[in-house]
Amino acid sequence: MKLITKPHSSQRRLIEILRVINAAEKPIGARAISDELSSRGYEVGERAVRYNLKIMDELGFTKKEGYSGRVLTPLGRRELSDALVDDRVGFVNARIEEYMYRSSFDPGSENNRVVVNTSLLDKRDSERALAAMKAVFDAGFAVSRRVLIQDEGEEMGGAAVPRGFLGISTVCSITVDGMLLRGGIPVNTTFAGVVDVREGSLYQFTDLLAYAGSSLDPIRVLMSRKAARITGAVKTGNGGLLANLREIPVAAIGQARELLEMAKGAGIDGVMRISEPGEPNMGCPVGAGKVGIALCAGVNAVLAAEELGAEIRTTPISSIQEYGRMKELR
C-alpha cells in the first residue's frame, strides 16, 4: 500500500514544479524541470516529473506547448499565487472546516443544508450517465442517492449551467462531518484514498493521501489520476472506490453511532467501516484514543458515469445546497 503520511512529500512537490514552470521564460520540459528541482533540493527524476505533469494537466494547472514543454494556465498561476501565501499549509482542511460549519444537516430536521459536489454533464450522455449513477446508489457506494439535476441556464454553485449541459449536485461526505460537529463531536478528516473491493467485500485502502497541510484536494487528485475502478466494483464485485477517513474521540463513538443511524433514515449513509479504538481502518492509520470512520466519497456515482465514457466534469466540495431540493435518483 502506498501511503503519503507527510503531505509535503507530495503536494509540496507539485507546488515546486509549478514554481519552476512559472520561473521559466519559455515552455520547459520534464528533464529541465527535474534538473531545476534537484538544484532546489528536490530529487525528482524525469519520469516522476512527467507523472506529476500529467496530474497537473488534468487538473488544468499546466498545458503542453507543442513539443517544447509545459506552461502554466491561468488556473495554474492562480493556484501558485495562493500557494505562496504561507504555502497554503492546511488549506484543504481549512476549506473542509468552513463547509462543515456552513452545512446544517440534522437528521431530525426538515430544513437542512448539505455540502455538495457539482458536475456538468453533456446532455447527450445523460441517459447512460444517470443509469450508471443509479447502479452506484443501488450498491450503496455513495453518501446519498439524492441528487439535484438542473437544466442549462439554471444557477448551480454560483454559476449558470452552460448550454448543452445538465448540472448535477451530489451529497458530499463532508456533510456527515458537519452533522457530527453539530452534535458536539470533534471530527478531523485525515485521509482520502482508494478502497479495494474484492468479491463484493471491502478489503483495504490501496492508496492514501493526507489532508493535513495539503494544498490540493486529495479526492480531486485521485480523480485526476483515475485511480478508482467503480464500474468493476458495481458490476463484478471487484474494483476500487474513492473514500475518506475521519477521526473522532473514542468517548464519542456511542453518540456518533446514534447520529449515523438517524442519518440513514434521512437518506444519508455511505459508512464503509468504523474501526476499533486506535486501530487501523482497512489499513489506514488511526491515532491513539481515536476511532476512524471510513465513508464513501460522494463523487463515486459521477465517476462511474465518467468511466463509461460520459462527458462529465466534477468539482468536489463545491457548494452548499438545500437538502429538500434534492430528490432520490431511482
One domain for residues 157 and 278: yes
Neighbours of 140 (CB within 10 A): 12
For residue 135, the model assigns a pLDDT of 97
User: 33-37, 122-126, 201-205, 209-213 — which is least confidently predicted?
Assistant: 209-213
What digits encode the pLDDT tens for the residues 187-202?
A: 999 999 999 999 988 9
Look at residues 97, 99, 78, 92 and name the one whose alpha carbon lies nearest to residue 319: 99
- Report residue 56's pLDDT band, with 50, 70 and 90 as the boundaries: confident
Question: How many Å apart are CA 166 and CA 154, to the nearest integer?
Answer: 9
Among 88, 118, 138, where does a domain finish?
A: 88
One domain for residues 311 and 194: yes
Question: How many Å apart are CA 195 and CA 244, to the nearest integer?
Answer: 9
User: Is residue 9 pLDDT above 80, yes or no?
Assistant: no
For residue 7, the model assigns a pLDDT of 42
One domain for residues 311 and 190: yes
**Residues present in the chain in total:** 330
If residue 163 lies in a helix (H) or strand (E), which one and from where to where?
Answer: none
User: Is residue 264 pLDDT above 90, yes or no?
Assistant: yes
Do the Cβ atoms of 260 and 213 come closer than 8 Å?
no
* Coil, helix or strand at residue 284: strand
Residue scoring higher pLDDT (1 or 135): 135
- Report residue 212's pLDDT band, with 50, 70 and 90 as the boundaries: confident
Q: What is the mean pLDDT of residues 27-54?
A: 84
Among 88, 108, 124, where does a domain finish?
A: 88
What digits encode the pLDDT tens for the residues 126-167?
A: 999 999 999 999 999 999 999 999 999 999 988 899 999 999
For residue 6, the model assigns a pLDDT of 40
One domain for residues 174 and 46: no
CATH of the domain at 18: 1.10.10.10
User: Is residue 276 pLDDT above 70, yes or no?
Assistant: yes
Look over the chain and give the mean of its residue pLDDT values, rounded to a whole number: 89
Question: Domain range spanning residue 290?
Answer: 98-328
Could you tell me the pTM of the whole model?
0.75
**β-pairing, 271-274 with 290-296?**
antiparallel
Q: Rounded to the nearest 10 degrees, how much is the dihedral formed by the CA atoms of 80, 159, 97, 296?
A: -100
Among 88, 123, 158, where does a domain finish?
A: 88
DSSP per position, 48-76 = HHHHHHHHHHHHTSEEE-TTS-EEE-HHH
One domain for residues 266 and 319: yes
One domain for residues 223 and 266: yes
User: Is residue 90 pLDDT above 70, yes or no?
Assistant: no
Residue scoring higher pLDDT (259 or 76): 259
